[in-house]
Structures are given as C-alpha cells and as structure tokens.
Structure 1
C-alpha cells in the first residue's frame, strides 16, 4: 500500500467518495485486493486510516460474520506499540474499518530499500514488539502472522499493525478448502505442522524477524517460502545454524528459535533481554533508526499533516463500485487493504491538518455508525504445500477461528467499547435534540492512583472501580488509571471538558472539546489538564451520558512506584440518553 508518490498522499479522484459514515475522506493512502484505504479524522481530530471493503467481500455473509469476530477481538487489544482499531461497521451496504493512522514505513520495505538495521535498532525493535505481544496475548489473542510487513517503523518507535481484515477474508476462503493461516517463512514449527498454536508461536516469529532485520539472512537458509517453511517444520530434527550471527543476537535467537514452545523465552523476558542489549531506554526514539529512514518517515508525517486537494470535485458521488485496481506495495500501517468506493453518509466531522500521531493509545472516534526478496514478501497470498495464506491472524490461543472475539460472561456488555476503541454504538449528532433522563446525581466517586504495574479500571455505568486490574481486562470500561508501560490516565471512550453542568452542555463537550485519549503521568502531576473544578463528560459503553466533576486532587496516600500519581476526588452524574 503506497502513500502516493513515495511520501506524498494521493489526492481523491472523481470516483472516490468524499464522506462515508460521518468520516470526511481527505486523501487516498492506497489500495489493494480488498478495497481502498483513505486518510480521515475522528471528530476529536485523531487521524485514521478509513478502509472500505470491496463489494464482493461485503456481499459474502461468511466474511461479514468473521470480519465482525476479528474486529471485536482486535478492539480488545490495548497497549503501546499497537495500532488500534477505533471504529467499524459490518452491517452496512459495504463493510468498513477505521484504524489509528501512524505515518511510517513497514519493516519489509525498509529492509528492501535500505538494507539491514544496526544491531541497537534491531534490539529496540524486538523489545518494543515483545511488549506489544504482551498486550496481545494478555487479551487472549495470538497474532499468528508476525512478519516484517506487519511491523511499522515510525518516529515514535515500532508498531504491530493490521488487525482483523485480512484474516476474515482468508479464513472465509480457507473454510472451503482447509489450510493454515500465516506466512510460511515466518511461521513457528507447530504452526507449519498444523498443530495447536499459542503465544509462543509469535515469539518464534519475532526471532526470525530479528535475524533478518539485523543481517538480511534467514536462519533457515535460502530458498522460496515453501522450502523455508518445510525446514522450520523440521526444527526438532534439524535446528537452524546460528553460528554466523553476532554473539548478542545469537543469544536471542537461541532462546526464541527452539522447537518446543514451552522452552522458548517469554515475551517479558525477551523484552528485558533486548532492552539490555540495545543499550538504551525503550521509550527513547531520537535517532533510533538510520538517518535515511528517519528522513523518509519525517516526509510521510509532513505529508499526512497537509492532505492534498481532490483532483476534481464531482457533482455527485457515484454509488457504483469502480473496478478493482492492481494492488500496490504496503508502506503505511495497513496491509491487505480495500479497493472500493462507498456512498457517503450525511454527518461531517471537522476537517483540518492531521495532528502529530501519538503512540497507540485509546483513540477518540465518533462516527455515525458503529520486487521484494522472498523472505521479505508479505503483501499477497502464497499458495504453498502447507496451504499457508498471508494474513494477520487474530485467534484464541487454541487456534480456533473467531473464538477470541467471545469475551465470556465476565464482560460487562457484548460489543461494548474496549481499551483500544471507542463505543461502537451510534452517538447523536450535537445538532439533533436528545432527551436525557437522570439516573443519579453528584454521587461521590474517588479514583485512586494504581498500584505498581496494575491498572484501575472504571465502569461509570455501574458505577464501580476495579483496582489492581490487568491489560486486556478493561472491556466495557470508560477509564483506566494505569501504571504499566505508559503510566497515564486513559480515556477509553471519547471524553470532553465541559464548561457547564447541564446534559446538553456535557454532551456538546464530548464532540467539541475532546481531550487526548491519554494524559501522561507528568501532565497529571502538573495538575493543569485535570485540575480541581474540571468537569469531564463522556458517552459510556451503555450509551449513557456521564459527568465527572473533580472536587479535589490529592497526593496518593501510600508509598510505592505510583505514589507520585495523584488521587482524584469527584462526583459522578449519569443521564440515560433516549434512543
């Protein structure tokens, strides 16, 4: 998927829609075998990649069902170094999905164009990716197709990309023929053999990526994808020859590329080992990549901030779907992208230049609805002896398709918003009148700083606080006050700052004064963003309107790693929004 001419976005052509599902489309990010992807913004100003699925997929009920399963699974995953899904619609005439947009370059393209990375950059990439896998596995999801094409390099570090769409299409096809999901040359042995797959498979794949990123050489030698996959499948009998790799890297490879999944290093251990080998803090990304790569990424960031004007403005957006165009190589945060245009819907979010992308925090969407060398290839499906298919795989640890989308009885509401997304239920436009029924008013509600390496999840509908929570356990919540990875207060549903206390003023604030999706610890300590007297409003996962009034900000009473994060004393008011 290209961004126009290398680093410049492609203008909309006369056949492209200008608006879909309340999202104003600003430019083309690219197109491929599944449809077209556009640059857009949420109402809160966050840039998103808005992907419209091809009509033939949209008319396939199997695809729609699996697409819904995969997207719901993807929306459960939150964490740094992940590009989250922020909105989607599987019920409309044409399915679409919106993901946070991060201008960057895929690792596959970077290696093909600029060669191997320096060892410190490789170790930092592996450590950050391992942290992303901690979040993925913590949400009961296994990636199953980790490869250079699915790792995005950006100025704020590497990101694991592509949640859900490709797998939905490929599984739909494979259910009719049988097969294995994944990219052959980056599979684990158990995956290549069609055995039960767990998160340890992703660790094996990450080891292969590290070897290729550092040297350009695959640990299982040369040859096509099928030949490499067969050698990987036989790892228990013939281990890869790692003698030619640098000593620090060889240690990592020995601990990741073992035939027995139980013997592999854990993701937490891999992150620690790699950070130590990198010799720099994981969150320090100044000059973390070679200058040519950093310059290329900077050009893409600049292009995203200045979307091009459409080539022409059509008198009316055509409803017909144009013919699919040939896929182009991926280089942004989404591969396996769409190729169709969809008729626009009436709502219009504000336009303007895209803000500088932030790390993959919970976004603030508000829609009207819910060639390369063989070992770097990853843009198309490969029909091989192992019947492996190039795809992003989101599955439960036992490999069952779509099982990861089922949260079980402990989830608050089916299909509710999660840490990597906003509510999928419709939100009324500020221009429309909405009726509000008071549920309760000025209920005392105290949010205390989280314990070390935990998150305090908040359900404003109940209302209830869940202290000592973990990553992946915040589905259906509205807030997470967390001390893992990025210590911050995270808004899991779009949250605005209100100047009034009426439900109308509160509702308008959600759309017109939306706060960043996360407030870092340093800003919390300054007290400027969330000071005493601040009124926060959000539409909850149960489609209620919640208003939190901060009545006091206090130092945390106990010691420990989180003692420098404040406690918030608030009152909570909740209105039911008439449907």
Structure 2
C-alpha cells in the first residue's frame, strides 16, 4: 500500500505527545502541518467527510485583540463560498484554544509542488492564476483582504487551486507578538505598501498574485531570497527579476507587480490576461491540468487515514448525542424503561408535566464537548430538542371525592381560612400564586348587588359595587404618548484619520485617538469603519437610497464593520450606537496617495437618543 502512495507518511504525520487527540469532539487522525499561526490536523465529520482543523497557537490565543479580530475574520470567512476557496465549516473563537475547520483539500500546496517537482508549464500557471483570481473575487466581495497570499496558502486539487487562510493574517497583525520578533506572513510575497506599513487594499492581493505567478513559472520568488529586511527593501525600492518568466506570462506579472496600487489590474483584467497567455481559445480546465508528478501527489492524499475508534474507558450514563458536528460515541446506550408507577401519599405526580431543559451534552473521558457549525443550532437553543432530566410519571387516578390528601388540600384549606378572615381578594391572589400554569379561576367575590337604602329596586352605586373592581382590573393600558424625534446635530467636513474614532455624545464631535476600545465609530487602520460599542451596528445604504432618520431606523442589514473599498464619494452609512444614538455618515472622499496621513472625509448627522425615543414610542 505504501508503494502505491509515495510520500503518504510525509503528508499524514502521526500525532505526537503534545498533540491533542480530539478538538471539540472532532477526533484527530493525523497532523497535516504546522506554521506561524498554529498546527493543522486531519479529522472527519460524522458523515465521513475529511476536514482540516487549524488550532491557533496558545500565545496568540492569550492576546485579547487577536481574539477579537480572529472572531471577526472567521465570521466574514464563513460567508465566502467560492469554487476556488476552502470553505470554513466550523470554528470556536471563544474557547481556551481557538480553532477553525475547513474542507480538506486532497492536494499539495503550490510551495511543496514547486519545491519537489519544479516550475509549472505556462498553461498550468495561466489556469492557476485564473482560479486564484476567482477566489480573490469572492474573498474581496466578503470585505476581506487576504494579506498573506503565498504559495503555501494555495492548494492544488485535481479540479483547480484552492486559496486558504484568507483574513487570518489580519488578526495576527493586531497581536503584540508581531512587535516582539514573531513574523506573520512571508516577506517575499508582500506588497510595497504592506512592507512600508501603509494602507492595505484589495490591490495588495493582486501584487501578491503576480509574485505567486513568478514563483510558479520559475521556481524562485520575484524579489529573491535572503533576510527579511533585504527582501522587503527590494520589494519597496527595486524592480522584480522576471528574466526567467516565459514570454506569454510577462504582461500578466508586469502589471500585477506595479509599485502603484492604482496601476495594478482588477480581477476581471487578471483573468483576461490569463486567457491571452493560454494556448487555447478559451480557458478550459482539463482533468490533467497539472503535470503528472504533481497529480500523483493528489492521488496519494486522497487516501487519508481514518480516525481511531473511540472506546470509553469508564461506564457512562446512557445518552443520545444531539445532532450536529462532532463525532458521536461508538457505544449503544441500553433501552431505558420508565419506572412503574407506585401510588402512595408521599409520591404525588404533577397534573401538568413541564420538561426541564437539558443541560450541557454529556462528555466522555478524554473527549471535549462537541462544537456545532453555524447552520446547526445547539439543542439547548431549540425547544424541540429539550428533554426532561427525569421521565414523566403516569398521572395517578383521582381519588373519590372527599378523600384526596396531600399538599394541594392543605393549600386549599389555608386559602379558605384566609378568605373568611381577610376577604375574597386576598384568597384569590394566594390561590393564583399557588396554581401557576392553570387556567384563570373565577373571582370568589359575591356577585349579588346590594339593595339600595329604602328597600327599592333601584341601581346600586357603581363606586360601591363589587363589579367595579373587576371591571377596572380589565381596563386596557393607556396608549403611550409618542416621543418626538430629537433634533439632528450636523457636523461637516470631518477628517477621520485611520486609528481615530468619533463619540456621538460629544457636544462637538471630532476625531479622538484610538481605534479599539468599544468606540461608537472608529476608522481602523485595517481599512474599515468599525462600530465596537456593545450593541452597536452599521448599515451601508444602497447608492441613491436617501439617508434619513426613518431610513436608518428601518434598515436591518446590520454589520459591525465596513471596508473602505466598498465606500465612495456620496455613499452613506447608518450608525446605531449601543448608547442609543443614531448617526448618518456621508462619505466625501479619502486622502490622496501622497498624503502623509491616511484619512477619510465625511459629514455626520447625529440624532441623540433616537433609538431610545423610538422604543419608548412603541
């Protein structure tokens, strides 16, 4: 078997002493690799589909800012569903060791393929870059800049490439570890603006795409190798070495590697350049689009090892695992028979059984509790998956009249005694409090109207009638008085610098330093507007949609961040703060390329406490 699958042991490494055996219920079958962010393991879904689980390094998981951005990027990545991306199917960003699971791609990385078998032919490079460009199209469409597009983050499958790890480098940039000798990303594949610490945009990924094309076609990086400082200097100040790039790919890599981000091609232009470099009239991806040696590596990776069977070492309580992701136990719980009912004065059964909500799913020795993907709800969140902690007892026959015993009789006698002393109203309250969940009982107050003075048959005084109290209790609550909308406060020509924020409650709203700290509106240096206040939301209005307080109140397309790549002059953003203010941002423009400061110009209209006023009116 090993002879038919060369290198299998090199691909699927056995678990070592410091490797976990399970991750949130997923049983690990092998280790796929390790990098600057953590380790990657092979596992399976309950249906037998192989997946790759990346467990983040402990030192990263201890950084609060990394966790916040990691959670944000995972949430965005789960929206990416492209033919040339490996979808994120499960994740835990809150646990002691954050992790995420993606579909397993049975193929080598571009870095491994080139290192072992050499450069790819022109046709394969054209198909590779075209597929990667399609992946960037859906990644950028989700508001994500990859930031770390390199050969090791491109997997070669039989039906095309797969781009992985999009957005995770952004979370790593936020951690304090990046300033203490920890390098995230490969310097050889950075863009000039990224190396210089300037604004990162979708064009940054296009530059990296050109570098990947040079590497795939020649086997060496476009700006050479060596120390990171030397490589970064050449990226910023020198031209790439493309002397070994085939002529048909020269225009593609030259345009992608332009120093000026504005001069780089768009994704559709990249695909058109790949088309012109291809020998065929159209881009068609045959089954044998890769060289035979690389295709053989794919065959070997298809035979992934199965996870070891889990056998509990101790008896466990019978339980039916809830549906969802994470392996189920292999043992079969015995059939549980409800105990026979034995009537007795000390075992009264309730007339109405209310199931008690099930606690956390059972865990097994050495196996953490399973995690569930977003499309599945945890059973605790679904009423139909609630189970009683004890099976309901059969309802006993009702004893003959006059012979009932137990707690209910004592309550009824006490209530009757109180009724004779304190009046029917008090007894009614006590009976109601002791019979929650039953139907409303009749008012025990006497219904006969008092006879008017003089013995006549006239009407009784309504104010003294027992019915007056009953009717007053059923009166409808008064309709709340509408709260008028607050007056708008306008602030024009605000230059919001990256790394600064706005606070809507200030008398004069002006930028203040700080981008992370539960701010109501911040311009993050990552290139996006951010609402970090608890309960705060953003909503991007459509072009031509008039901005107003009513429009912002009616808008429900909420998000917590909006990348500036989606903004242009005239676009408007509704901001609802966690403190109850509503703001309307109107984009007026951005700083020029030669500006030493990165800022966006905007007008702001604030309706203070408008969210609270709307709630009070309802």
Normalised TM-score (structure 2): 0.49
Q: Secondary structure at the match of 1:76?
A: coil
Query: Is the contact between residue 21 and residue 344 of structure 1 (CA under 8 Å) also seen in structure 2?
Result: yes
Query: Is the contact between residue 172 and residue 178 of structure 2 (CA under 8 Å) also seen in structure 1?
Result: no
1:388 maps to which residue?
A: none
Selected match of 1:29 from 28, 32, 42? 32
1:85 maps to which residue?
A: 88
1:287 maps to which residue?
A: 288
Render the CA deviation track for 1:194-231: whole Å, top value 9, x for unaligned. 22221111111111111121112444356444323212
Q: Secondary structure at the match of 1:79?
A: coil
- 1:298 Cα deviation after fit: 0.8
Indicate yes or no: 2:212 matched with 1:189. Answer: no
Are the structure 2 counterparts of residues 178 and 369 from structure 1 closer, same or farther at C-alpha, using a change threshold of 3 Å?
farther
Q: Secondary structure at the match of 1:103?
A: coil
Are the structure 2 counterparts of residues 314 and 400 from structure 1 closer, same or farther at C-alpha, using a change threshold of 3 Å?
same
Are the structure 2 counterparts of residues 368 and 76 from structure 1 closer, same or farther at C-alpha, using a change threshold of 3 Å?
same
- 1:113 Cα deviation after fit: 1.0
Selected match of 1:400 from 519, 526, 534? 526
Query: Is the contact between residue 80 and residue 138 of structure 2 (CA under 8 Å) also seen in structure 1?
Result: yes
Are the structure 2 counterparts of residues 85 and 191 from structure 1 closer, same or farther at C-alpha, using a change threshold of 3 Å?
same
- In structure 2, what is the Cα distance between the partners aligned to 1:57 and 1:224? 25
- In structure 2, what is the Cα distance between the partners aligned to 1:413 and 1:15? 42
Looking at secondary structure, tell me which structure has more strand per residue.
1
Looking at secondary structure, tell me which structure has more helix per residue.
2
Selected match of 1:345 from 355, 364, 368? 368
Are the structure 2 counterparts of residues 91 and 106 from structure 1 closer, same or farther at C-alpha, using a change threshold of 3 Å?
same
- In structure 1, what is the Cα distance between the partners aligned to 2:293 and 2:136? 28
Are the structure 2 counterparts of residues 151 and 57 from structure 1 closer, same or farther at C-alpha, using a change threshold of 3 Å?
same
Q: Secondary structure at the match of 2:367?
A: coil
- 1:160 Cα deviation after fit: 0.9
Indicate yes or no: 2:93 matched with 1:94. Answer: no
Query: Is the contact between residue 50 and residue 97 of structure 1 (CA under 8 Å) also seen in structure 2?
Result: yes
Q: Which moved more, 1:210-219 or 1:100-109?
A: 210-219
Larger Rg: 2
1:307 maps to which residue?
A: 306
Between 1 and 2, higher relative CO (CA 8 Å, sep ≥ 6) is seen in 1
Indicate yes or no: 2:77 matched with 1:64. Answer: no
1:211 maps to which residue?
A: 214
1:558 maps to which residue?
A: none
- 1:8 Cα deviation after fit: 5.2
- 1:48 Cα deviation after fit: 1.6
Selected match of 1:230 from 228, 233, 249? 233
Query: Is the contact between residue 4 and residue 28 of structure 1 (CA under 8 Å) also seen in structure 2?
Result: no
Query: Is the contact between residue 17 and residue 343 of structure 1 (CA under 8 Å) also seen in structure 2?
Result: no
Are the structure 2 counterparts of residues 32 and 343 from structure 1 closer, same or farther at C-alpha, using a change threshold of 3 Å?
farther
- In structure 1, what is the Cα distance between the partners aligned to 2:213 and 2:149? 11
Gaps of 5+ in 2: 1-5, 315-364, 382-521, 541-555, 561-618
Q: Secondary structure at the match of 2:78?
A: helix
Q: Secondary structure at the match of 2:539?
A: coil
Query: Is the contact between residue 54 and residue 100 of structure 2 (CA under 8 Å) also seen in structure 1?
Result: yes
1:266 maps to which residue?
A: 266
Are the structure 2 counterparts of residues 115 and 399 from structure 1 closer, same or farther at C-alpha, using a change threshold of 3 Å?
farther
- In structure 2, what is the Cα distance between the partners aligned to 1:180 and 1:17? 25
- 1:271 Cα deviation after fit: 1.0
Are the structure 2 counterparts of residues 149 and 402 from structure 1 closer, same or farther at C-alpha, using a change threshold of 3 Å?
farther
- 1:20 Cα deviation after fit: 3.6
Q: Which moved more, 1:276-285 or 1:259-268?
A: 276-285
- In structure 2, what is the Cα distance between the partners aligned to 1:14 and 1:233? 43
1:251 maps to which residue?
A: 251
Q: Which moved more, 1:43-52 or 1:402-411?
A: 402-411
1:418 maps to which residue?
A: none
Q: Which moved more, 1:205-214 or 1:290-299?
A: 205-214
Render the CA deviation track for 1:37-77: whole Å, top value 9, x for unaligned. 33223345432212333444333323322221221232232
How much is the aligned-residue C-alpha RMSD, in angstroms? 4.0
> Following superposition of structure 1 onto structure 2, how do residues 541-552 of structure 1 map, counting pairs within 5 Å?
none
Are the structure 2 counterparts of residues 141 and 54 from structure 1 closer, same or farther at C-alpha, using a change threshold of 3 Å?
closer
Indicate yes or no: 2:165 matched with 1:162. Answer: yes
Q: Secondary structure at the match of 1:52?
A: strand
- 1:35 Cα deviation after fit: 4.4
- In structure 1, what is the Cα distance between the partners aligned to 2:199 and 2:120? 33
Gaps of 5+ in 1: 317-341, 350-361, 371-395, 416-579
Query: Is the contact between residue 21 and residue 27 of structure 2 (CA under 8 Å) also seen in structure 1?
Result: yes
- 1:128 Cα deviation after fit: 0.7
- In structure 2, what is the Cα distance between the partners aligned to 1:154 and 1:45? 19
Query: Is the contact between residue 63 and residue 172 of structure 1 (CA under 8 Å) also seen in structure 2?
Result: yes
2:54 maps to which residue?
A: 51
1:515 maps to which residue?
A: none
- In structure 2, what is the Cα distance between the partners aligned to 1:285 and 1:397? 46
